[in-house]
Structure 1
Amino acid sequence: MPHRKARTADIEQRLLIDAIYHRYHYDFRGYAQASLKRRLNTALIQFGCDTLSQLQDRVLHDPAVFPALLEYLTVQVSEMFRDPGYYQSLRREVVPLLRTYPSLKIWVAGCSAGEEVYSLAILLQEEGLLDRSLIYATDINTQALRSAEAGVFDQARVPLFTENHARSGARSSLSDYYTARYGRVVFDKALRERMVFSDHSLATDSVFAEMHFVSCRNVLIYFDRELQNRALGLFREALCHRGFLGLGSKESLRFSAHSDAFEDFVLEDRIYRKRAGL
């Protein structure tokens, strides 16, 4: 009986994900199913539904439900200068080569609420490159994009952000880049002027510009192998000759269909470089 119940839940999950795709054109079919299952089980409680079929009915017939459900389906957990060693390696190994370009285009794919975008903008400012850079920040969650564009974060998170920033090889104080008021911090407009925020799905959309550096950290771990390969194919296509790709600490190119298109650049920090001619 428990086995039959689990199989029914799996069928309901597939039907719900298909319904979301056909109704709202958000494609979660290539996401890791175990991770989706955990998030949907949490959503069931919050929406007061006993089954995914009940949730599907609400998603299809109540337009207000899907935007709220999207908050559960997309992962919005990050921090500024997460994994400081990654940013140290960007400063030491990648930035000297980025300096050779007259202008820079950078893509942060799956930018969530913007922590990584602001981290990169501050790093580029500290390295004297922000004024010739344009950072494209994309995500499928439009509410997260609005939060990212606002550049407002809870002040309680700032001590961790500050510690990470210092450990990243900072050349200034993080407090130089924000104003604190009413329990929140607002990052400088000058940083946001070098950012372009846009909704983009790695599951369904195509490349939109040529990039010198793509950073997609802690996103691929939520995809199945086929969708990982699709996303990495987009990054390969987007990167200019000898461009750079940064992934999360638990992600790798090793078993992907595009591993031959990249060489290890700083392997311990998951930074790769596109091979010549590819």
Structure 2
Amino acid sequence: MHRGTDTITYEELNSLIAFIKNVHGFDFADYSAASLKRRVTRVMELQRLSLFDLRTLLTNDENYFESFLIEITVNVTEMFRDPSFYQSLADNVIPYLKSYQRIKVWNAGCSTGEELYSFAIMFAEENLYERCFFYGTDINADVLEDAKNGIYNLQKMKQYSENFQQTGAANTLSSYYTAKYDAASINHSLKKNILFSVHNLASDGVFNEFQVISCRNVLIYFNTELQKRVIELFYNSLANFGFLCLGSKETLRSTELGRFKIIDKKNNIYQKIA
């Protein structure tokens, strides 16, 4: 008889991490242990699994690991989340980029795509979209399929529209999607300069040079050592005077600030200076 599904110890978590790395080649070792423990416990509770059951599924069911990965790594996202952040983007970042002929934007940990589409809309509002190319990356291939499709619940669009108006935008959000039944489909004209692809912040390297990198509500799930490595990755991926956008919940450490200028302390927007 297996123990109840409501708890997993840190020792058991470490054993599970090693097991997953051995079986699937995916390393959770540098993720925040407390956050990972909460998420694994939640999976076990919702699916009524013991630790033994979970390991059995991860071993024997080829498709289960993908769904497990979604539950463990997917972040809650919405369009124009924290409107003040997008106001700051419009006031402090976009005007600086208007003289650029080509602008590359990377949204790291993009999940189902709402944030990257929000960025694309903000640049479209400033008539800069045609000069931009947007990259959305995530470790999870399944959520990236949702991002590529760009189809969202119409009820959610009402909240997204309110967020959008709070950014001070001139247009309405409905200018950028087509409503059909209970779904909203992002217009093709907004998708054409967007590419979604798999990238693992914990192990993959630089793949382009960007004027803007956004990574919000992702670093909080990593431990200190991995956070440092990811910030180094972002630094090496930014063009000179490029912008790093971390959002209100994450900040650069004092040891990292020598290479960045603070643009907006509240929303943690920085500019590479060295």
On whether the aligned pair clears a TM of 0.5, the verdict is yes
Q: Deviations over 1:71-98 (max 9, x none)?
A: 2111331110011111111111111111
Residues 1:210 and 2:213 aligned together: no
Match for 1:267 among 251, 265, 268? Answer: 265
Partner of 2:33: 33
CA distance in 1 between counterparts of 2:202 and 2:40 reads 19
Q: Name structure 2 gaps, 5 residues minimum.
A: 1-5
CA distance in 2 between counterparts of 1:12 and 1:54 reads 13
CA distance in 2 between counterparts of 1:167 and 1:59 reads 44
Aligned residue pairs, count: 269
Partner of 1:19: 19
CA distance in 1 between counterparts of 2:224 and 2:257 reads 13
C-alpha displacement at 1:209, in angstroms?
A: 0.2
Asked if the contact 1:105–1:210 (Cα under 8 Å) also holds between the matched residues in 2, the reply is yes
CA distance in 1 between counterparts of 2:69 and 2:130 reads 34
Q: Name structure 1 gaps, 5 residues minimum.
A: 1-5
Residues 1:71 and 2:78 aligned together: no
CA distance in 2 between counterparts of 1:184 and 1:111 reads 20
Asked if the contact 2:7–2:41 (Cα under 8 Å) also holds between the matched residues in 1, the reply is no
C-alpha displacement at 1:7, in angstroms?
A: 10
CA distance in 1 between counterparts of 2:59 and 2:121 reads 42
CA distance in 2 between counterparts of 1:125 and 1:8 reads 47
C-alpha displacement at 1:150, in angstroms?
A: 0.4
Letter in 1 for 2:141: T
CA distance in 1 between counterparts of 2:247 and 2:133 reads 22
Partner of 1:50: 50
Q: Which moved more, 1:194-203 or 1:60-69?
A: 60-69
Asked if the contact 1:19–1:60 (Cα under 8 Å) also holds between the matched residues in 2, the reply is no
Query: Pairwise mapping of residues 164-183 of structure 1 onto structure 2 (< 5 A)?
Result: 164-183=163-182
CA distance in 2 between counterparts of 1:10 and 1:39 reads 13
Q: Which moved more, 1:113-122 or 1:22-31?
A: 22-31
CA distance in 1 between counterparts of 2:162 and 2:147 reads 21
Query: Pairwise mapping of residues 233-272 of structure 1 onto structure 2 (< 5 A)?
Result: 233-255=232-254, 257-272=255-270
Distance 1:180 1:7, change over 3 A: closer
Q: Deviations over 1:72-128 (max 9, x none)?
A: 111331110011111111111111111121101110000011110110011111111
Say which SS state the counterpart of residue 235 (structure 1) adopts: helix
Identity percentage of aligned residues: 41
Q: Which moved more, 1:134-143 or 1:64-73?
A: 64-73
CA distance in 1 between counterparts of 2:197 and 2:251 reads 26
